Amino acid sequence: MAINYVKRATKTSATGEDDTRAIVNTMLKEIETGGEARALEYARQLDQFEGNVIVSEEDIERASNALSDRVKDDIRFSYDRVRGFAEAQRASMNEFEVELSEGLFAGQRLIPVDTAGCYVPGGRYAHIASAVMSVTTARVAGVPHVVVCSPPNKEHNGAHPAIIYTANLCGANTILNLGGVQGVAALTFGLFTGHAADIIVGPGNRFVAEAKRILFGRVGIDLFAGPTEILVIADDTADVEIVASDLIGQAEHGPDSPAWLVTTSQALAEAVIARAPDYIGRLPEPNRTAAENAWRDYGEVVVVDTREEAVEISDNYAPEHLEVHANDLDWWLDNLANYGSLFLGEETTVAYGDKCSGTNHILPTKGAARYTGGLSVGKFIKTVTWQRMSRDANRSVGVASSRISRLEGMEGHALTGDDRLAKYFPQESFELKPDNVS
């Protein structure tokens, strides 16, 4: 077994977390205390925004008129595929009732949350697709009220018109010109809408991600998220140019976006490293500087001997996006386990999933793919259980429950079973003491 790090990252996803946490904590406390007024102060201070927070019907119409028919057709192309995939997810989920033993019935219900808060980034980039991914999925899940927050900017005196148009198309009830920590706080506390979110979903910068992390528990969140990540697994059949393009394509997200390559080919590793500057150089600013810093500080290239080693390393990273450029794609599909979304073969790429191919692009980062998948219809639905039983079923369930309760030292629990047995079967006696544990 040989693992060779041809290029090592000098920073990790935890770099700078303490400073971010302190800033976000202060902001959240101030907004919770100061309410809408303090949120607006932050909007003026951080985004230089003085307009109306709530997007009006006139604003929506103006946003629609600002877009060409082709742009709107492209957005609907994405919407149709994301909705179709989400509908298939919902169809795969079922309520049921089962008789576990004679007279004992149990089941599950699928209940959508009442209010979903969808954060749609709009700072450096207008993340139109994030509105599609979050709002559409919530609506397919059956969520009755969806609130969207997106940062305003000077050029549009509000959120980006394409984001407003998309959020409305996908079914948002309310759209807020509000971003950052103040946007997340508004969703959590129900500011400006009176609808406090039951769950907040959507990607964002490190401040947005930290705000969601801090507020988790008071409100549900889709997942713990950090800067976007890509890991490419490649063998000697991979195209150097395509691999380099995909790595740098994701690195443009920001200066802290990890881009990892795991390959069984030393030649490919060296070639990708050699070609990366050219792919960075073809980007416009500020994308170029972001990608350059990300590749320098967070880029990593690993050479391994076998595909099994590649799987081991990839599963250890648990990347948000995982591409496989290698032979025998079904083998990789069967053996890889930890990832947010998997892209098999050269013909597909992260950008397709990010924008319009159908699967959701709101995905786990920072190793969270070890225990969770990305945003899905199920994130907006509570899977709750229920039970009922006949009196006769208490003969077995009541006795076992009482004995287990006493074995645990929980006499009050045991007595609730004893009392039912005494009521339903007054002429019968039961052995309600547990056997001694040796």
Neighbours of 90 (CB within 10 A): 18
Residue with tokens 């080693």: 309
Of the residues 292, 320, 323, 325, which is catalytic?
Answer: 320
Cis peptide before 203 (omega within 30 of 0): no
**Cα–Cα distance for residue pair 173/19, rounded to 1 Å:** 35
Closest CA to 123 of 177, 61, 199: 177
The DSSP code for 158 is: B
State both tokens at 24: 């976000």
Of the residues 253, 321, 325, 361, which is catalytic?
Answer: 321
Helix, strand, coil proportions of the chain in percent (round to 5)?
45, 20, 35
Helices (H) and strands (E) in the chain, counts: 16, 14
- Three-state SS for 55-78 is CCHHHHHHHHHCCCHHHHHHHHHH
Q: Does 156 participate in catalysis according to the annotation?
A: no
Residue with tokens 């170029």: 288
- Contact predicate 247/291, CB 8 Å: no
**Cα–Cα distance for residue pair 420/389, rounded to 1 Å:** 12
- Contact predicate 306/287, CB 8 Å: no
**Cα–Cα distance for residue pair 96/90, rounded to 1 Å:** 15
Q: Does 155 participate in catalysis according to the annotation?
A: no
Span between the terminal Cα atoms of the chain, in Å: 47
Instruction: Supply the residues annotated as catalytic.
Output: 320-321
